[in-house]
Amino acid sequence: MELKDLKVIVTGGAQGMGAHFVQRLAEAGASVAAGDVKADGLAALADRCKGLSGTVHTRTLDVSRDEDCEAFVAWAYGALGDLNGLINNAGILRDGLLVKKDKETGAVKKLSRAEWDAVLAVNLTGATMMVRETVAKMVETGSRPGVIVNMSSVARHGNRGQSNYVSAKAALAANTVTWAREFGSFGIRVGAIAPGMIETPMTQGMNQKARDALVERVPVGRIGLPEDIWRAVRFVLECDYFTGRTIDVDGGLSM
């Protein structure tokens, strides 16, 4: 699919990789509906994208709320005049060991149910509901071809202190295969990108020592940039013979 022909939703579009995707899409002439919980970030994004070849429409979106997902997709279809794509980018972190013992006091601390539920609600259930609503609209209106890009993570292979995040991202990668099989008859492809450590507001908030140690493990010798991930996203969007697979973009970190 040509980028200029896309009428696409981008979740988590107010900052980081999502904002970068929106701007790149608009530069290529696509029509984009960007959603995020951060209204101020969306406003800044809309300002940055004024005058580009494509169009950018923004609206607040909390993907953890089913009614928000349904309403956003209906709004996006009206704002864009059609709908043939989704970049499922919204995500949060609530890291912590499932069980931890304090070295000094011996106290045992457990990952809370609230921390587990928060990550699953956004990163898995919210992503799934966005796929459901987007595909339902595309099938209902007969829009084809279509494409879905799920943002998974190399953490899906397992990562200490991220039981909730790992579970969500592994499930999203697995469901990329499931949905590719389910939606192929509707002319909809489904792919996933699994970033490694990328320079975003999320990673900028990491403990510096832990961040430096992780970067040292990356064979290419640097942290990734949103542009690195965009190039992979663009491949999935444009390659009509790609579906049902997850591409790791991690500088070799997961080798």
Catalytic residue among 21, 72, 77, 165: 165
Whole-angstrom distance, CA of residue 240 vs CA of residue 40: 35
Around Cβ 105, how many Cβ atoms within 10 Å? Answer: 8
165 catalytically annotated: yes
Q: Is the distance from CB of 227 to CB of 234 less than 8 angstroms?
A: no
- Whether residue 201 is preceded by a cis peptide bond, meaning omega within 30 degrees of 0, is no
Q: How many residues are present in the chain?
A: 255
| Exposed / middle / buried, residue 101 (Cβ in 10 Å: 0-12, 13-18, 19+) | exposed
Which 3 state secondary structure label does DSSP give 238? Answer: helix
Sequence-distant (≥ 6) Cβ neighbours of residue 168 within 8 angstroms = 91, 119, 120, 123, 124, 127
What residues are annotated to the active site?
165
